[in-house]
Structure 1
Amino acid sequence: MTTNKLKALELFAGIGGFRLGMVNANIQTVWANDINELCCKVYESNFGKDSIVLGDINEIPILDIPNHDILTAGFPCQPFSPAGKKLGVRDIVRGTLFERIIEILDQKQPKYFFLENVKRLLTMENGSHFRLILNALSELDYFIEWRIISPLSFGIPQNRDRVFIFGTKLNSTDITPNTLEKLSVFLTKEDNILLPNIEVPLVKYMFPIMTTKRKNDNWGIAYKNQMFTQNLSLLPEIKPRKKLQDILQDESIVDIQFDFTIDTLERIKQSKPVNRYCNGVEILYNQDGGARLGYTIFGTNGIASTLTASTSRHYERYQVGDKFRRLTNIEYARLMGFPDDWCQVAKIYDQYALFGNAIVPACVEWVCKRIGQRNFELSKSGWQQLSLAI
């Protein structure tokens, strides 16, 4: 399939991370929405006037939403009803923003959906939260696949694992290994030998979504209330890996407002050298008795810690040469894979939260370019090797 014929919908659009990734994959976004006025201002500054609808998605009639081929959303994570199994799946998610996604999918029937959320979604409430989401989506006759993806695979030096969920409309009584070959957007050639026996229909290895006690691994599939999940290796490097120091601005042009040198030197007197790496992040000092990240001083020889929307995190101190400073708004843009000037219509301080809430466009682009392609083939010899290992 050529993706340039696909038309996309972007819900909870933020500053347009999904759209930028889809633009790079030749997918046209026909409608977007967000409730945040500043997000919409940034969105319009990059995609044009009236490119996004400002407002509460629950108050926008679905009839006003145009037909589309792919629904995208970095949806907010909200708790579901504690009534659990006493209610139907649609009742359990009622009153959440996720329910609105279900309603739009149900009425508009797009061929695909593409969702993003924090990695913790897989383990919330011992995994039951994610399984409720899978079950609700699978009842709409979508073949669902998910995988944890890191921007590290795309040359972006940030510790930011996210779970991406992709659905393809499928009307079938069963799924076979051939189905997986045709529909998977997340599997690569390196993953071929990590699945069940190639000679057996996949349904044999699947189990009921709502009654299983298994944990949700970093990759999996679901269809018609059944699921299969397994841990895979990290994605191969799509682009060469970088360190934080590789994307920093030239120190000669970094404004003094980002500098914390004097204050940090005082903190170091009360701190102990650490000089270690945690999840790829270089940690130089940590103040005695201070567990909060605000007391930690980072280096630039590793990757950046996860960017967040929390204002307290904007003042993390990094040692850059002989200075101690926070990262600039432009460096935040680079750590998310956006152009330097993407949020220039917003105040510098506000840009941190905007980027911290965003989606990495490079991850979106990679997935969207794989839609409709046969991205991998199952190797019989590989299956036999796995069978012997089992």
Structure 2
Amino acid sequence: MSKQFNILELFAGVGGFRVGFENSNESMFKTKWANQWEPAKKSQDAFEVYDYHYPDSMNINENIEEISDEAFQSMDADIIVGGFPCQDYSVARSKKNELGIQGKKGVLFWEIIRAVTQIKPKYLVLENVDRLLKAPSKQRGRDFAIMLAAFNDLNYSVEWRVINAANYGGSQRRRRVFFFVYRNDTDFAKKIDKEFENKELDLTFDSQLYDDYIFTKGLFARQFPIVPLAVKNRHATYTLSNDIVDISDNFIGTVWNTGIMRHGRYFTIDTVPTMEENPVALGEILVSEEEVSEKYFITDQMKLEKFKYLRGSKKIERTSVEGHTYIYSEGSMAPTDDLSLPGRTMLTSEGTVNRSTHFLNVNGKYRLITPIEAERLQEFPDDWTKYKKTSTGEIVEVPDRMRMFFMGNALVTGIVKRIADELQNIINGDI
């Protein structure tokens, strides 16, 4: 019997990582701790949905900054998972020569680093929006380079890939960057060192060998195949400074959608999927029309006109904060979502009268998607977000608007399952 691997789920939301890992192997992957906290909100709805489904784990509903080092040290987690907020990760040094954060925005990633420092897990699986790789706009790639350096300082390696779920059999065109982080003393890391003959320690950094890893040997390569060729010959290598503040101030490297960082150097390459898997069309995940409540249909003429305007092309004169005027342009969209294609990326504004909202024409009737359909786009079980358990223990229904918000914040659990499937192979020595 395989060893049980204990998981800590940070920024847990309604449990997307847990759903994916348990769908992979519930007996092997055991989520023992979860933290979910929605700042500036009295009602902790996402936590209450999570607690409703998973009363067996230690579910912590408090600001991650307030979880003590001692509490983290008490968690014997083998794996940390989480989809952390995309914020500003720049760093500075205080008068006492201690690393700090410029402002408050970057705190949450450093809380992951703090947890790793205290727990020392073997592996992490993390998720974020793909624009992270190009942030900030004035120093592209800096934020991600800071993250790589932070993990390198703790003796971890990082493999990353931007994955569009629709390219791998999903029903949503959702692009997210996933990180597979592993400690450098794991058997997997030692195998990489042996296979590449410690080339990563050579200043020449043989990118040809890393092509082989990225295209065939890595975790993402095995589950999410890509064309074994750099797009427009876009690839780069970079040696990270030992000083994170120096990276924050002076980083000038490039980060593409695929890469590997080991021992302070990274190799990155621009790749495209092999497109061997057909996506699921939006029309295929819709519930039966007989099951759709009237409240999801749009019959009000003013709302219909509003959707027409929002999805149409427009040029609007605006005034900047500095006082100068400019023309804001926006291209047109199809009047309604194409049911023969996978759904567009779902946002937290889903279900409102908004340009980003899925707007359907089914049998001549206009409507929004239902909460169940939103759950299916993210590959959660039907009605996953229908109920929550309040702080008093009462089981109550969750409002539709909040259910849509949850799914806009969530991730495609099927992608997580495939990552967990391959992690099993790594743990079992099959890679």
Q: Indicate the TM-score class for this superposition, using the shorter chain for normalisation.
A: 0.7 to 0.9
| Structure 2 residue 330 is matched with structure 1 residue 330 | no
Pairing of 1:308-347 with structure 2 (within 5 A): 308-310=347-349, 312=352, 313=354, 315-345=357-387, 346-347=398-399
Q: CA deviation at 1:250?
A: 1.0
Give the 3 Å change call, closer, same or farther, for CA 232–49 of structure 1 in structure 2: same
Distance, in Å, in 1 between the alignment partners of 2:2 and 2:302 is 50
Normalising to structure 2: TM-score of the pair? 0.72
1:295 Cα deviation after fit: 9.7
In structure 2, how many angstroms separate the alpha carbons of the residues matched to 1:167 and 1:150? 20
Per-residue deviation at 1:31? Answer: 0.3
Matched residue, 2:391: none
User: After the TM superposition, which residues 273-288 of structure 1 pair with which residues of structure 2 at under 5 Å, given as runs?
Assistant: 286=312
Name the structure 2 match of 1:352.
404
* Matched residue SS, 2:219: coil
Structure 1 position 114 matched with structure 2 position 116: no
Contact 2:33-2:57 within 8 A present in 1 as well: no
2:226 paired with 1:188: no
Distance 2:262 2:333 in 1: 44
Cα gap change, 1:151 to 1:88, in 2 (>3 Å): farther
1:91 partner SS: strand
Cα deviation for residue 207 of structure 1 reads 3.2
Q: 1:5 to 1:352 in 2, by over 3 A?
A: same
Contact 1:293 1:316 in 2 (8 A): no
Residue among 60, 63, 67 paired with 1:56: 63
Q: Which residue in the other structure is 1:200 paired with? A: none
Q: Using a 3 Å threshold, how does the CA distance of structure 1 residues 253 and 289 change in structure 2: closer, same or farther?
A: farther
User: 2-side partners of 1:269 and 1:216: how far apart?
Assistant: 37
TM alignment of 1:1-390, pairs within 5 A: 5-26=4-25, 27-36=29-38, 37-48=44-55, 51-65=58-72, 66-81=75-90, 83=92, 90-92=99-101, 96-125=107-136, 126-171=140-185, 174=198, 177=209, 180=213, 184-188=218-222, 190-191=225-226, 193-194=228-229, 207-208=239-240, 210=247, 213-234=252-273, 236-237=275-276, 240-263=278-301, 267=305, 286=312, 291=330, 297-310=336-349, 312=352, 313=354, 315-345=357-387, 346-371=398-423, 373=425
8 Å CA contact 2:371, 2:383 repeated in 1: no
User: How many Å separate the matches in 2 of 1:368 and 1:22?
Assistant: 6
Relative distance call for 1:6 and 1:93 in structure 2 (3 A) is: farther
The Cα offsets for residues 99-151 of structure 1, whole Å up to 9 and x where unpaired, read as 11101111211101111000111111211111111111111111110001122
Is this contact kept in 2: 1:144–1:165, CA < 8 A? yes
TM-score by length of 1: 0.79
Moved more, 58-67 or 104-113: 58-67
Task: Note the C-alpha offset of 1:253.
Answer: 1.6
**Aligned CA-pair RMSD:** 3.7
> Partner of 1:373: helix, strand, or coil?
helix
SS in structure 2 of the partner of residue 300 of structure 1: coil
Q: CA deviation at 1:352?
A: 0.4
Cα distance change, pair 158–92 in 1 and its aligned pair in 2 (3 A): same
- Measure the CA separation in 2 of the matches of 1:266 and 1:132: 46
Distance 1:266 1:147, change over 3 A: closer
Deviation at 1:319, TM superposition (A): 1.5
Do the aligned partners of 2:141 and 2:255 also contact (CA within 8 Å) in 1?
yes
**Shift, 1:70, TM fit:** 0.6
Equivalent residues, number: 356
8 Å Cα contact 1:153/1:236 also seen in 2: yes
Residue type of the alignment partner of 1:359: L
Residues 295-329 of structure 1, C-alpha deviations (whole Å, 9 max, x = no match):
95323222212111136447542212201111111
> In 2 relative to 1, CA 131–57 (structure 1 residues): closer, same or farther, beyond 3 Å?
same
Cα shift at 1:332: 0.2
Q: Is the 8 A contact 1:25 1:365 kept in 2?
A: yes
Structure 1 residue 188: deviation in Å? 2.9
- SS of aligned partner of 1:222: strand
**1:319-365 Cα distance to aligned partner (Å, 9 max, x none):** 12201111111110000000111001111121000111012111111
- Look up the SS of the partner of 2:411 in the other structure: coil
In structure 2, give the amino acid aligned to 1:13.
A
Q: How far apart, CA to CA, are the structure 2 residues paired with 1:263 and 1:271?
A: 12
Deviations 1:81-107 (A, max 9, x none): 3759x9989535895111111011112
- In structure 2, what is the Cα distance between the partners aligned to 1:119 and 1:89? 30
Q: Cα gap change, 1:89/1:6 in structure 2, threshold over 3 Å: closer, same or farther?
A: farther
Given that residues 43 and 51 in structure 1 are in contact (C-alpha distance below 8 angstroms), is that contact kept between their aligned partners in structure 2? no
- 2:321 paired residue number: none
Task: Answer whether contact 1:3 1:369 (CA < 8 A) is retained.
Answer: no
Q: Per the alignment, do residues 165 and 50 of structure 1 end up closer, same or farther by CA in structure 2, a change over 3 Å counting?
A: closer
What is the SS of the residue equivalent to 1:233?
coil
- Alpha-carbon distance in 1 for matches of 2:7, 2:421: 14
Q: 1:361 to 1:316 in 2, by over 3 A?
A: closer
Structure 1 unaligned residues grouped into runs of 5+: 196-203, 273-284, 379-390
Task: Single out whichever of 214-223 and 86-95 deviates more from structure 2.
Answer: 86-95
**Separation of aligned partners in 2, 1:206 and 1:288:** 42
- More relative contact order, 1 or 2 (CA 8 Å, 6+ apart): 1
